[in-house]
Amino acid sequence: MTRRYRDEFGFVPLDVTIAFEGGRISPLSSFNEAVNDVSASFDRNGVFCPPEYARDLYKLKPTHEIILHNVNDYSDVREVRLSDGGAVIQLVAYIFGVRTQFHDWWFDSKIPCKSTHNLIITQSRLNEFMSHAYISWQAWNDEVRKLFINILYMNSRFVSYNWDWEKFTIGYMVLDGCFKCTKLLDGIKSGTHETRINRLCQHYQLREEKDNIERIVELRNQLFHESLWSNSQPCTAPEGDAFGQVYNLHRFNNRLIMAIIGFETDYIKSSWTIFGDFVL
């Protein structure tokens, strides 16, 4: 038995509607009020910094509503929020590079108040992406569904951390999650961390940039096994290209997530080591 589900969430600072197979995302009538309430606290990078008294946990007014036409019957709305509802709002977070949370759940730390995912998306492609992604997610088993929601959630948190080594840690968690997801879906074989990344590149036709992959694994091994960040102490200026590799890893993960979803786009094969906007 299925039923209609409606909920509210934020924080998506974009006046955007998404009509997709199975549901719809729309701005609330109070969208402008919700955005204006936090606009005074934007920093120069378009990031919302919560007031001092609320730096640990805080709530924001919702910006959008989510409607799903047919979800499994539920006795508690939390069941849907941890399944279909959670998948959809985290897909919104992913495609725009923002952070999302249900209206009565808490945020922590900083959140972006503009898109941080360098994608140029037409309305039709946005609708098409969301339909494809949601249908793909629905086709997976419960273990993969749960894993993928968490991958999306942790990927969205990347922008909220201050130190480069913290961002890198989150990025590598996402990468490991993507490998596990691919192993469950397609049976990809394990190996060393470098081998895993190379196999993901080959499996999904991502660019196999050998030197950068080696460097990312080197940074990972030092940080996780020796508490070193590029031969230095975390929270100090690192040696060499560590800062740039943090963002290389994040851009790699963004393409990897798109590939796991199976949405056809040249973005997946584009370079993940350069800044720039890409057409979805």
The set of residues, in sequence order, having a beta carbon less than 8 Å from that of 229 and lying 6+ positions away, is: 164, 165, 168, 219, 222, 223, 236, 238, 242
Tell if the pTM clears 0.85, that is, is over it: yes
Instruction: Give pLDDT, residue 114.
Output: 83
Length of the chain: 280
User: What are 246-258's pLDDT values in tens digits?
Assistant: 999 999 999 999 9
Q: Give the pLDDT confidence of 1-10 residue by residue, as tens digits.
A: 789 999 999 9
What pLDDT score does 239 carry? 81
State the chain's mean pLDDT as an integer. Answer: 94
Q: How far is CA 215 from CA 13, 155, 162, 237, 274, in A?
A: 35, 21, 21, 17, 16
pLDDT score for 238: 86
Q: Which residues of the chain have pLDDT under 50?
A: none
Structure tokens at 241: 């290209």
Phi, psi at 272, each rounded to 5° = -100, 15
DSSP string, 95-158: HHT---EETTSPB-S-EESS--S-EE--HHHHHHHHHHHHHHHHHS-HHHHHHHHHHHHHHHHG
Please report, as a single letter, which amino acid is at residue 134: Y
What pLDDT does 141 receive?
97
Predicted pLDDT of residue 219: 97
